[in-house]
Amino acid sequence: MKMNASRCVRPLRRGYTLLELSLAIGIGLMVGGMSLSILNQQVAFLKIFHAQDFLASEAPLINYQVTRIVSHADSFRLHESLGDAEARVNPVLTDASVLVLRFKQSDGGYRESILAFHDPGTGPGIYYHFVREDGTVEDPQWAVSKKVANARFSIENGILRARLSGPNGEEIIYSGAEQL
């Protein structure tokens, strides 16, 4: 008896076995899970980085500018509003948004300028204003910072304090010059 050679040949397989498909899906799920985990870590890192941005980049600049301005002042006073500062009424010792600085001139006279936290129409921030000789407050000359969410000035034991809040709730307290 002769065997037919065509009967011994196995037919070609088409497709994948259930085991192969399960293994491929499992590997795909593991890669997807790891990718999602890495993405979540990056998002968390960016949130932390963004929250620290005010403290790392903006706060040192504010400190430098405010320190230079306040250190040259001969005296200062606080007001709750620009209107009160301009009218020279209702000075306060705490929770003020306006810091009036007085500078002695070489001719013996004085000039004033103002650091104020308010919104002059270009967004809230800390702005620097000149005060004219007639006592009127000019429009802001420049912005110290527009990234500050809130700024409050106070005088504690004769020391000027500025409490600044960042956009993410960060808070920095600067202590400065003694009032003369």
* 180 vs 96: CA distance, rounded Å: 19
Start-end of H helices in the chain: 5-8, 18-53, 59-71, 82-87
Residue (of 89, 64, 67) closest to 77 by Cα position = 89
Mean pLDDT by 10 residues, the chain (180 residues): 60 81 94 94 86 82 87 89 89 92 90 93 92 88 90 88 88 72
144 with 135: CB under 8 angstroms?
no
Fill in the DSSP letter of residue 135. S
Q: What is the pLDDT of residue 6?
A: 57
pLDDT, tens only, 20-64: 899 999 999 999 999 999 999 999 888 888 777 888 888 888 888
* Separation CA 126–CA 147 (nearest Å): 9
From 115, 116, 112, 114, select the one nearest 133 (Cα to Cα): 112
The pLDDT score that the predictor gives to residue 126 is 94
| Residue extents of the structural domains in the chain | 49-178
Task: Return the closest-CA partner of residue 148 out of 176, 118, 126.
Answer: 126
Q: What confidence score (pLDDT) does residue 54 get?
A: 83
Query: Is residue 76 a contact partner of residue 101, using CB atoms and an 8 Å limit?
Result: yes
